[in-house]
Structures are given as structure tokens and as C-alpha cells.
Structure 1
């Protein structure tokens, strides 16, 4: 697969958001070619539960502080920081930052931090990154299931809650870390579709499910539904440098198993 100076080629495309099966000559195996999806309209969003429970805000903040302390003292966190600080990974961050001093952070699909421990662990890790690294900039968060109470907690913790459902289609006009542990493949795919031009793809750092695993799974079962939901992931795999996260405890497994850092580059 080749890339132009402006756009990474995804194969023969049309504009109806579907997939076409292309038969190869002389009986060779058929292949699936992604067709460019039409962009969907961004939707204004407000929490379905519009009432803020101030008592619950206080309780949830205490729960998160406990979770942050436990995460900070864990072996998983020490390994996580060491991986970011090693020369190979840090050089990837540095290359994305370029002349910028900070990297904006966008969080999609965090889940309910009130109802489940896994989202609290994932948020705790990000907040610790913000404390640890001066180049981590402002944090924007969105998940359609967030309540007004959870949104208030996030604001108290220094995060901004988006009022629009971008459906993962944020165009990275500047260095941006997309923090998306355990999201659906479609959300990663929407993000890559929005940033398939080389000018924006180079600004993307993605923390989320391993693209290598998606590729292995798609190859092993040859399931067209996997190809459909992860088409841009698979198409851009050759332009991706991936660094898998080391899992060293049951808590970290539940919240971060099969997670990786993904950085993107273009080929001549």
C-alpha cells in the first residue's frame, strides 16, 4: 500500500459507506476494499440525568482519589511510566509534539466512572499522566452515558466534558492524544477515517486496543463484519508503530489488557 503526500491511500473507494468485494484474477483469494464513509452529523449532547447529586459528587471524588493513590503505588504504573520514558517510545511522542509544548488529550468512551471500577482505573491512569508529564495538555472527555453528576466530577478534576457527540471524528489539527482504552472498533475506525490525510494523521497518538490484535483476528477468521468495522484500522496498519502495554496485575489486566500505544507515519 502506498501513500501520497496528502492522503494515505485506502484502495478503490466510493462514497456510499459500504464495502465491496473485489475478485482477483485467476482464482486468487478475494479481498475486501473499504469504501469511504459519508461523515455523520455531530449531535448536540446533554446528560439524560440533568440533576447533579452533590453528595454523590463528594463520594465519587473520594473514590477516585483512593483509586489514583492505589494506581500510583502499583507496579503496573511504574512499568507504564518507564515505557513512556524509554528512548524509543519517548522519541515517538517527541516527534508528534514537534515544536508544540503540549499535547491535547481527547477521551472517548470512558464509560460510567460512578458505576464501574474499570473506568475509574482508566481515568486514574490518565490523571496521573497529567501530573507526571508537563507536555500533557488539557483533557476533553465524552461518553454519551455520562450523568450530570459524573460530568461535574470530571470538571472538578480539571477535565472538560464535550457538549457534542463527535462519534470519534475529531480532526487532529494539532498534536492530540486520543485516550480510548477498550472502545469499540467502530470508534477507532471513525477516528482514523477523520484523520486519514497525512497532515493530520501525524498529529495523532492513540492509546487503545491493539491494532495488531485486530489484524490477527481478521486474518484468522476472515470475517467480513470485522473487516467492515475495522477497515481503516487494517488499511493503516502498515503506517502504525505499536507499543503494547505490559500487564502485571489482575487490576491492570481488567482495565488495560490488550492495550497499546499507536503512532502513525507515512511511507514514500
Structure 2
């Protein structure tokens, strides 16, 4: 297995980085952790259509089982009568209501807020050139792109990334965010934030930027499980540095990563998917006397 920089003297070319990341992705995908992780992603981030279909199937089965034999016979006779009647096709322009329904269905199918995730934003991965953990976290980001079949943009930012890191991720098809990378622009399409072991203030900032029912319906966060902050008594003393975490926790549905550990378990430990169900009303957030998170300065 290839190591991080310093483990050998091979020149850090883009080809070297490509081979390194191919190796990291292969190692990740061959682990028992990844098999369980892939199932979790499908269950957590790709369930809407499956759940709706399952619900419809259950209701249909219940309805059918409740029919008496006489009801069933009447339905069958009605169906046969309808089958014998001629079907008259109306020109589309003479049937606007049908056209409207067709257009609405197409729009619903194409609405990114009703389908799979489109974009992914990666924060806090670190320097791929220098850190083995960062390499595996980037491998996870690349794998998530494949699992979710993302059709939009995958972006990345970490202030410790080197110029080589930036060149490598761009070579891998990932956009490097400029400035401080912490955009205050709310998400416009379904977006996964991949934020392993980020500062608490950064999680709070992402939530604050998207603190509306419309935006929260469009995003999920894979990062430090928010329950850690609630369980840690010392967090209460610095909660003003991340005022949106506890309100976010109160409306979040959290799916912890698999119990099957990955290697030494310092790469993906204490992480979870955070989704924000549409039936949860947003709580008020107390911003009085808020403080800056020193980790973000």
C-alpha cells in the first residue's frame, strides 16, 4: 500500500496522486466497513421513492385483502366492460387538463429536491499530500459521488490544503472553493455536506446559512454526530460559539456510521448522517451574546 508523503521519495506528480487515490479507494471498498456503509447510504439518503412505493404497495395489498369475493367479482366485471369500450384519443391541444398533468409529472420527476442528491461539498478533509486519514476521507468522498450518482458539482475546501492538493483534487474532478471556502449562499439543489471532524462553528455556520425549511429539505450533513455535543457538559460553556448545533440536533434524524470499524477507526469515528425531516418545525435560535469559534479564526 502506498504511504503518505515522507514514506517514500517518489516525486509527487498528478500520476502519483492518481495511483495513490486509486489504491485508497480500492482499500476502502474492499473493507467490511464499506459494505455496511454503502447499505447505510442507500437507506439514509436514497429512500424517498422506495418508501413511497413500498407504502403504496402495502396500502394496495391491504385494500385488496379487504375486498369480499362479491366485490372482487364486480370489479372484474367492470374491468371487462371497460376493456370492450372503444378508446377515443383526444388531440393533446384539445385536452389541456391532461397536458397540464403530464407537464406537472415531468416537472416533479426533474425537480432535484424530489430526487437523488446533486452536489456535494467537502470541508475539513485536510492535506491529501500529507495525511493518510485525509487520503481515505477523500476516497470516501469519491465513493459517495459514485454511490449517489451525483450529476452536479463536488467541491472541496480546507485551509491546510497545499497547492499540490488543489491540483490533485481538480485532476480528480473536484472543484476547489476559493476565499475561505465558507460560502454564505444557501443550497439550491439537494446537497450533501461531507464534513469529517470539522470545527463545531463550521457545522453551525452551514446550518445558519440554510436555516429555512426549504433549504434544510435539500441538504444532509455527514459529520461529527451532533449528539456528542449534547452529551459533553463542557460544550454548554462554549455553545455560543456554535449556536445552531443544539437547535439543529432537536430536529435532526441521525444515522450513525456502521458499528463495523475501518482500520484504526480514527478516519471515520463518531460520524453520522444528519437529515432534517420536513415535518419538523424550525426552533428559534438564541443569537444573543454569540461568540466566534476560535477554530475558525
TM-score of the superposition, structure 2-length normalised? 0.65
Q: Tell me, what secondary structure is at the counterpart of 2:154?
A: strand
Task: Give the distance between the partners of 1:259 and 1:98, measured in 2 at CA.
Answer: 24
Aligned ranges 1:33-112 → 2 under 5 Å = 55-86=12-43, 90-91=46-47, 97-100=112-115, 102-112=117-127
Shift of 1:92: 6.0
Task: Give the distance between the partners of 1:127 and 1:93, measured in 2 at CA.
Answer: 24
* Structure 2 residues without counterparts, runs of 5 or longer: 1-9, 52-110, 282-297
Partner of 2:277: 265
Contact 2:117 2:148 in 1 (8 A): no
Shift of 1:57: 2.8
Count of matched residue positions in the alignment of Structure 1 and Structure 2: 212
Task: Give the distance between the partners of 1:74 and 1:178, measured in 2 at CA.
Answer: 23
Higher relative contact order (CA 8 A, sep 6+): 1
Shift of 1:175: 1.0
More strand by share: 1
Larger radius of gyration: 2
Task: Give the distance between the partners of 2:13 and 2:142, measured in 1 at CA.
Answer: 20
Q: Does 1:229 align with 2:272?
A: no
Q: Tell me, what secondary structure is at the counterpart of 2:194?
A: strand
Task: Give the distance between the partners of 2:217 and 2:46, measured in 1 at CA.
Answer: 15
Contact 1:112 1:146 in 2 (8 A): yes
Q: Does 1:149 align with 2:164?
A: yes
Partner of 2:256: 244
Shift of 1:134: 2.0
* Structure 1 residues without counterparts, runs of 5 or longer: 1-52
TM-score of the superposition, structure 1-length normalised? 0.71
Candidates 141, 148, 154, aligned match of 1:133:
148
Kindly report the root-mean-square deviation, in angstroms, between the aligned alpha carbons of the 2 structures: 2.6
Contact 2:21 2:139 in 1 (8 A): yes
Task: Give the distance between the partners of 1:77 and 1:265, measured in 2 at CA.
Answer: 26
Partner of 1:19: none
